Amino acid sequence: MGGAFSKKGSKRDKDPRTQDKQNRRLSVSGIAQGPQGDSNTTGTVTDKGQNEYLRFSALSNAGYEPDGHKKTNQDAFISFVEFGEPAVSVFGVFDGHGACGHHVSAYVRREIPRILDKELLKAESASARPNIDSVAKHFISVFERVNNALEADKSIDSSLSGTTAVSGIVLGRAGNRKIITANAGDSRIIIGYEEVRRPVWWVQ
């Protein structure tokens, strides 16, 4: 989400030597008490939680310059173990890039949960046969609305900055669980399982 091109008619030159050059470290494992860590964008942010259906842990950590100084952490994530309903969980990773990448990823982190329709997800999670197509179409529309709103928001210069966005909705009760994913950019979701008598299985 965001842009990677100059704005037409812009007279403001951006010297790449003066732009912040950021590096990111982010991982999300499994499936709350809310993010813990530094309030700024240079430290470590962690989160973990669980309910009757799943448990999760997450870690986001800024990289380091060659001289040992921490870089700006442009990553953001969302982790709602119960998104308005115990049988609905929402997770996402947003890898910002460019001089304003941390602002873009923070914007997307805030807006996706705000726009998601909790009532739709709650209704489908309670259904014996959830309408996955309906949820998927809604998820796509959320991504499109956030991208369009970001482009229209003049408080964030996204002309040369942006973020990847990969998110998943875990829907339904035990024995009838579904995972719906949406992705923009090159971040990935990897889903796998391990059983005692079967080899490790995964898909991305």
Chain centre distance of CA 13: 31
Fold designation for 24-203: Phosphatase 2c; domain 1 (3.60.40)
Q: What is the DSSP string of 101-115?
A: HHHHHHHHHHHHHHH
Following CA atoms 64, 164, 90, 170 in sequence, which dihedral angle do they give, to the nearest 10 degrees? Answer: -120
Band (67; pLDDT cuts 50, 70, 90): confident
C-alpha of 167 from chain center: 5
Q: Identify whether the C-beta of residue 25 lies closer than 8 Å to the C-beta of residue 75.
A: yes
Mean pLDDT for the stretch of residues 61-87: 89
Give me the residue label for tokens 């796998």.
192
pLDDT exceeds cutoff 70 at 33: no
| pLDDT, position 44 | 85
Q: Provide, rounded to the nearest whole percent, the portion of the chain with pLDDT above 70.
A: 77
Residue 199 phi, psi (nearest 5): -70, 160
141-181 pLDDT, tens digit each: 999 999 999 999 999 999 999 999 999 999 998 888 999 99
Q: What is the mean pLDDT of the chain?
A: 82
Break the chain into its structural domains and give their ranges. Answer: 24-203
